[in-house]
Each structure stands twice: as C-alpha cells, then as structure tokens.
C-alpha cells in the first residue's frame, strides 16, 4: 500500500465514501454546511485511544454547539468498532455518539497521509478540522504513545471560527492568552499608509497597539 503525501492546509478535503458504525458516509459532502473534526486512532481496544474516545464523547455537545461533527477512524473492521464502542459504554458509562470509520483497506488513511511506514498498518494519531465548504483548515499529529487534548481541539476549532467571522487572528491559547487575555489580533499593516491609519485609530481608542505591527482588540 502506498502512503500518500500529507494534504495541505487550504486544500479541498478529498472526496471519499467510507463505511462507519452509523452506515455509509460521503466525505465531505454529507457534512456540507457544517464543520467536522476527523480524528484517527491507531487501533480499537487500546488504552490511550480509549481515554481519547471517552473524552471526545463527553465533549460532543460542545462541538455541536460550534456547528461541528466528530468522526473517528482506524483501519479496524466495523465489527471491532461496534464491539469496542459497546465496551466503552458498558465500562465507562459513556455513549459514543459519533460515527467511527472502518477504513479496513486503508484507503482513507492513505489519502490523508495517516499511515506511517514504520508503524505497520496502524493509523497515526491525527486530527483534521474541515470547514463548512469542505476546506481542510487545521491538522494535528501525535505519536502513538501520547494522547491528544480534546480541549485543545475544541479550542482550536473555536479560534478558527472567531478568526473567520471577524477577520482577525487568535493569539496563543485564545481566548486565555496570558498577555492579551481574550483579545484578538488585528492583521498587521501591510503598507505605510495603513500603518499610519492604525496608529491614528489606536489614539482614537478603537483598539490597542503595542506597536504599529501588533494591534489587538476585544470582541
């Protein structure tokens, strides 16, 4: 099986039909008009992956509040997924509300560059955030031995949406940056005229500037 190169941010998410625990899904078509978060795991019935699935399930409503759907993926068979989901429900009292892709042939994983040549057929621990137009907006990759922070995935999704809506940038750990607090960053001035305009606007109290290239404001 050949491993495809990583897709690029800003690319259209590749079209694919996948088998899931909720039936056949067509990506990204079935999620048109919504954000979706596709996250892969190395395998069912593994300890780190189980902790992640419980965490994603507990945050499912928070993702839905941001008009986003969750989708899991590994190369395990759908029967294994179903049994694992049952085990999680029975042993952690947590229902897995999102579909889990059974990528048995590795086609989706290959198309998304999730198969590491040194890790056999296991998918890497990846996260893809896709916007309502089917555009890939963010990717995160973790090694098998390190679990992801679901709160960070949720935070990043929120920051993307804020940046899109207001035409701004989000600082480190937005909206809880130690320096700027919950402020967002105004894109740097690209011309001398805009630089002068920014400084005048700052003097008028429209926003705050540490310097002409670092201006921020509250929403």
CATH number at residue 209: 3.30.1020.10
Residues serving a catalytic function are 49
pLDDT tens column, 191-203: 999 999 999 999 9
Asked whether residue 8 is domain-assigned, the answer is no
Per-residue pLDDT at 143? 87
The residue from 149, 176, 211 where one domain ends is 149
Asked if the model's pLDDT at residue 184 lies above 60, the reply is: yes
DSSP helix/strand/coil, 81: helix
pLDDT exceeds 50 at position 3: no
Q: Give the C-alpha separation, 86 to 78, whole Å.
A: 12
Whether residue 173 has pLDDT greater than 80: yes
Mean pLDDT of 169-173: 98
Beta-carbon contacts of residue 161 (< 8 Å; ≥ 6 apart): 35, 66
Looking at the structure of the chain, the number of domains it has is: 2
pLDDT of residue 2: 46
Helices (H), 66-182: 78-92, 107-111, 150-166
Instruction: Give 89-135 pLDDT, tens digit per residue.
Output: 999 999 999 999 999 988 998 889 887 666 556 778 999 999 999 99
The residues facing 26 across adjacent strands are 17
* Same structural domain, 88 and 23: yes
pLDDT, residue 5, reads 65
């Amino acid at each position: 099986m050949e491993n495809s190169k990583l897709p690029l941010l800003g690319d259209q998410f590749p079209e694919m039909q996948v088998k899931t625990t909720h039936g056949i899904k067509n990506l990204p078509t079935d999620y048109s008009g919504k954000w979706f978060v596709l996250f892969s795991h190395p395998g069912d019935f593994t300890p780190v992956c189980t902790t992640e699935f419980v965490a994603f399930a507990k945050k499912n409503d928070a993702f839905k509040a941001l008009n986003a759907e969750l989708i899991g993926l590994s190369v395990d068979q759908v029967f294994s997924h179903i049994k694992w989901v049952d085990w999680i429900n029975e042993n952690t009292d947590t229902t897995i509300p999102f579909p889990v892709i059974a990528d048995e042939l590795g086609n989706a994983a290959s198309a998304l560059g999730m198969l590491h040549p040194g890790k056999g057929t296991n998918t890497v621990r990846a996260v893809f955030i896709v916007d309502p137009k089917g555009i890939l907006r963010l990717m995160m990759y973790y090694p098998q031995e390190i679990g992801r922070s679901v709160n960070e995935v949720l935070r990043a999704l929120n920051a993307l949406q804020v940046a899109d809506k207001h035409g701004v940038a989000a600082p480190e750990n937005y909206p809880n940056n130690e320096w700027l607090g919950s402020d967002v960053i105004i894109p740097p001035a690209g011309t001398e005229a805009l630089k002068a305009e920014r400084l005048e606007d700052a003097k008028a109290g429209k926003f705050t500037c540490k310097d002409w290239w670092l201006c921020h404001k509250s929403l």
